[in-house]
Homo-oligomer: A and B are copies of this chain.
């Protein structure tokens, strides 16, 4: 399932670039740019995406398959695209607020901009369908939270920030459910998606 998570991770710097597009504040862009650097690396030191690729390889899958996006669940693609679209079309405040799911990743110790802790706490999540925290520094989520608190002045803005966080939870949840459906129970990957080897 590493390649499904890789696909999500590989789109995170694109999402973060879409957030850069929304900001007219150089100081915000400076802080947020760090996320792209952490994911994409600096040309010498490998970034988070490269670490994900190595994780994919460690599961026995070819790096090229992950890079090409072979076998990615359509439901994963649709949810990830919904995330990129969300940050590209909503307000700057909503775009930043949608990243706040990462606040919960500290508790689970295994996420990068990933599902909220309550998602994992459910027994149905015991199958190892999660995103490991390979890329993100704690100060990033602290910055995002402080920025949202500072910029959500009115009740309407606070409601928008809250709704953005919920929308992001829907996006993560849909990915986990699609993985579970395809590879755990009932275990029916759709045509064209990665087909696991049958257990003997």
Contacts and interface: CB of A to CB of B under 8 A. Distances in A.
A74 interface: yes
A74 B171 contact: yes
State the copy count for this chain: 2
- Looking at A73, A171, A182, A186, the one whose CB has the most chain B CB atoms below 10 A away is A186
A143 interface: no
A173 B74 contact: yes
Contacts of A128: none
A86 to B, nearest CB: 10
Interface of A: 73-75, 77-79, 81-82, 85, 124, 166, 169-171, 173-174, 177-178, 180-182, 185-186, 188, 190-192
Given A74-B170, A173-B191, A174-B178, 7 more contacts: A75-B174, A78-B174, A85-B85, A124-B188, A169-B191, A177-B188, A186-B186
